Amino acid sequence: YNYLMSLDKNAILVTHGDNDTFPLWYIQEVEEVRLDTRIMNTSLLGTDWYIDQMRRKTYDSDPVIFSLERKDYLYGKNEFPEVVDRINRPITLKEAITLFKDPRVKINRYGEQIDYIAQHKLRLPVNIENVKKYGIVSEDDYDKIVDTVYLDLPQEKSSVSKTELMILDMLSNYNWDRPIYFVSQGGDLDIGIRD
């Protein structure tokens, strides 16, 4: 109850594992508390059926916006796409996902054309106007708003999990119009989001 009541309207709450998630699902399903809030469990986000659920409106919660097509995340597809620095500068998450989906820029691995993330250093531009408009940052902290959030994948990381891919995809479409909270600094996400 305290977790949900501390969230701003129409929030996405990213959880990890059963213990973080099941009490929240219970209180929504049975007690009908904060039906505007979307609970997103990273332990399930690597499965196609769960991604499909996130793409639908649930109760009063808007769908999560992903740009990857279903064929890109079906079981057995893009389970651990590689991270290959093909661009010599940090790129936006939007650029990373656009290149990921582009059939003209695949790389060949073992005779197969595969999708990949084209840079370890990713940028998430901040829509400062929406941050203020939707109350994502309190007015007292407006002077602390940055124009870009940097997500640096660890340099030794040669691939991302499907869960990490979907979080990156969600963030690539993020317009700073609904708050996103993480229960445990990213849980099993190793995409530079902890900092």
What does DSSP say about strands 148-152 and 121-125: parallel, antiparallel, or unpaired? Answer: antiparallel
- Residue-wise pLDDT tens digits, 97-154: 999 999 999 999 888 899 999 999 999 999 999 999 999 999 999 999 999 999 999 9
User: What is the pLDDT averaged over residues 166-178?
Assistant: 96
* pLDDT for 195 beyond 90: no
User: What is the pLDDT averaged over residues 167-171?
Assistant: 97
* pLDDT for 186 beyond 90: no
pTM of the model: 0.93
Alpha helices in 37-145 (DSSP H): 48-54, 70-73, 93-101, 128-133
What does DSSP say about strands 116-117 and 82-83: parallel, antiparallel, or unpaired? Answer: parallel
Q: Indicate the pLDDT class of residue 187, thresholds 50, 70 and 90.
A: low
* Helix%, strand%, coil% for the chain, nearest 5: 30, 20, 50
Contact by Cβ (8 Å): 67, 45: no
Residues in Cβ contact with 76 at an 8 Å cutoff, skipping those fewer than 6 apart: none
Q: Indicate the pLDDT class of residue 185, thresholds 50, 70 and 90.
A: low
- Residue-wise pLDDT tens digits, 87-99: 999 999 999 999 9
